Structure 1
Amino acid sequence: MNFLYPAITIRNPMKFFPDFKNIFSTPNEPDLSAAFTKHRQTLPTLWLLGKTGAGKSSLIQAVTGNTTIETGNGFAPCTRTSLSYDFPEDKPLMRFLDTRGLGESDYDPGEDIRACQDRSNALIVVMKAEEPEQSHVLKALSLIKKNARIEHALVVHTAVCLIESEHERFQCVKYNQDQVEKAWGSKLDFVEVDFELNDGSSFGIMKLTEKLSYLMPIISELMEDRGHLDLEKKLFVQLKKDILWHAGIAGASDAVPVTGTVTVPAVQARMLYFIAEKYGLEWNRRSMAEFAAALGAGFGANFAVRLGIRQLAKLIPGYGQTVGSATAAVVSFSATYALGRVACKYIYHKSKGEEVSREELMKTYKKAFEGIKEAARNETGKG
């Protein structure tokens, strides 16, 4: 029997529906500190490269919605020449790395490269459109290109609306873009933005978030528009960051051989207790059994076996360190997120005294599982 899964292709997400016996058996979880550490070590990272005052803090504010964050305020030392900011701060899903040593003549990006090297990351070059003197940025960019394995880079030209003449603006952006592409050695995608106009509005933010979301899909999940959602979905979005964080922990722990059989169900149980508490529902054996019955006993029947097979696959030399671990991490992330999504739907309707069909729950689970896989690849460093 062929039990080795393709790295990412998952044709039937219902096969990875949780085994409720494992998830609900006890609220006493094992030590998850190693899983938390692993998760933080592999956070997808946006590496920001730019002069002081170029607009890096404003970019972070635009992505996170945290208008109080400033580079240097809320950041923690990461290397000798860089600071990092994890977002959300308490349950992080992504990291910003700000290079601080660009003005130093002896700046060596080696430490920063090593800090990002093994993560699914992108380099964001931030340049003020009206500032043509970018020698320190260009020098660092050349060194990074020579020594780092970075597949994705984006140039963000900021404060473009300070240049009133459209022709002059075009020339300024083109000059800086040409400088960057010469240092990088190839064409690069770019976006023009202005984070704060005189009337308090902004320019180009939607385009910026679209491009960043392409490089790092978790961003689109964090910035989901709530404007046209019904109440059930709005409540889910309020818990989405927490559910994604639990999914990230499950994915990180399942990337390590054997441990996933214990830690993944524990993380999922932790998440379900958290969700129930937020909805004001007592999560006990009776409510657990009702939830399992609503979903159908058959959904969870194969999960423990599949989880065990994924652990065995990770032990196969060569394969286990690449495809096996990648598959395990992505599947556990996706399955945990989908479980959180369907639990929110079920508990919401239960709190209203409403029934929700098994077919609707199945549809919700499958849609969530399939929809989160791109972010799962990125979050688990398997992009």
Structure 2
Amino acid sequence: MVKPSESSSTQEQPLPTLWLLGKTGAGKSSLIQALTGSSAVEVGNGFSPCTKTSFAYNFPQDKPLLRFLDTRGLGEAHYDPSEDIKLCQRQSHVLLVVAKVEEQEQSAVLEVLSTIRKAKKIKQVLLVYTAINTVPESEKNRLVAHHQGAFEKVWGSALAAIEVDFDCDTQTYYHREQLVAAITEIMPLVGLMLDKKEHTSLEEQAFAKVKNEVLWYATGASFTDLFPVVGLVSVPAMQAKMLHSLAKRYEVKWNTRGFAELIGVLGTSFSTQYGVKLGARQLVKLIPFYGQTVGAATAAAVSFGTTYGLGRAAGYYFYRKSRGETVNSEDMQQVYKDAFELGKKVAPRE
């Protein structure tokens, strides 16, 4: 593993992307606020233009892990969606069709959805019905059935749907957990990133504040390890930069001695396996065809898991050190193993 460093280069990497398709006023910005916890001002100022009518919002803004694409203008006069569709189909992983439940007129959305289906670029679609609590129960059921039938008819098959109601002023997010769970089924990394469950210990609470940064480094390491030999240098470099950054966040002095102590607590088996497995992953990627597909994908997933596991274990270590507490080697090794397995499970597959 590379020793402590403050600098490493990162390549441009693709972000898991949610394409929000819906009419103006459907609640797309509120959905972003509910999922990310960002304010209306942060969301409004965070959008950057992709085309004349499509905008991207990266979250978090400083070290992005997720991108929202918003196509605006549906249902408006003289709006031509062709340019937006071409862009969004190329970048998106999941299409979220957002419809305000009481808005029965959805012809513009249905037309674009039909075009998307014919292009056969987007495979994953989730329907999100908003403002669900603004209508009586009996009326709500009728409206949802109406929308569901129309959308499924255009798509040609059954579509999963979530009913939500987000009041961003009071931060009352009805069915937010169900929406996150539905997205997680398709994109596991998003679920880990957006998880806001209660934490049982102060140490877990402390790590929750740096978790997205660890995920950012894990995603970067995973992406660079897709390429033969590159990962041999890039993965340890990104991990070293992550450790330096985490030490700073936990206000722990970080130097070569601290690095050696952290690795020592993880155990000699960790260091040995780390070096052997890293080299083996690079060799596998050199095998024609297999290495460029299965080998590269496996290497990327393992690098994600290793980096996330190392970051999680480092968080545990730095938290204890910052409080002057003794770090139990067995406990820390278990923290690493659990996080490594979770990281492999949620690692991006594209």
Matches within 5 A, 1:128-167: 128-164=100-136, 166-167=137-138
How far does residue 133 in structure 1 lie from its aligned partner after superposition?
0.9
- Give the TM-score taking structure 1 as reference length: 0.85
SS in 1 for 2:174: coil
* Distance in 2 separating the partners of 1:229 and 1:27: 33
Q: Which has the higher contact order (CA 8 A, sep 6+)?
A: 1
Give the one of 80, 94, 104 matched to 1:106: 80
- What residue in structure 2 maps to residue 196 of structure 1? 167
2:134 corresponds to which letter in structure 1?
A: L
Contact 1:63 1:219 in 2 (8 A): no
Matches within 5 A, 1:133-282: 133-164=105-136, 166-196=137-167, 201-225=172-196, 227-282=198-253
- Cα offsets for 1:133-182 (capped at 9, x unmatched): 11110011011111133232110111122212x21111111111111001
* Distance in 1 separating the partners of 2:169 and 2:284: 58
SS in 2 for 1:23: coil
- Give the TM-score taking structure 2 as reference length: 0.92
Contact 1:57 1:69 in 2 (8 A): no
SS in 2 for 1:61: helix
Kindly tell me: are residues 89 and 70 of structure 1, through their superposed partners in 2, closer, same or farther at Cα, counting changes over 3 Å?
closer
How far does residue 78 in structure 1 lie from its aligned partner after superposition?
2.1
Contact 1:236 1:344 in 2 (8 A): yes
- What residue in structure 1 maps to residue 91 of structure 2? 115
Give the one of 62, 74, 78 matched to 2:46: 74
Identity, % of aligned positions: 47
Kindly tell me: are residues 185 and 263 of structure 1, through their superposed partners in 2, closer, same or farther at Cα, counting changes over 3 Å?
same
Structure 1 regions of 5+ residues with no counterpart?
1-21
- Cα offsets for 1:51-73 (capped at 9, x unmatched): 01000001111110002257754
How far does residue 199 in structure 1 lie from its aligned partner after superposition?
7.6
Contact 2:24 2:73 in 1 (8 A): no
Give the one of 17, 23, 33 matched to 2:2: 23
- Cα offsets for 1:93-122 (capped at 9, x unmatched): 111011124334532122321233xxxx11
- Cα offsets for 1:271-322 (capped at 9, x unmatched): 1111111122111121122112212122111322322222222222221221
SS in 1 for 2:64: coil
- Comparing 315-324 with 217-226, greater Cα deviation is found at 217-226
Kindly tell me: are residues 279 and 196 of structure 1, through their superposed partners in 2, closer, same or farther at Cα, counting changes over 3 Å?
closer
Runs of 4 or more off by more than 4 Å in structure 1?
Answer: 69-72, 197-200
1:91 aligns with 2:66: no
* Distance in 1 separating the partners of 2:266 and 2:340: 15
Matches within 5 A, 1:344-359: 344-359=315-330
**RMSD, aligned CA:** 2.1
1:107 corresponds to which letter in structure 2?
A: P
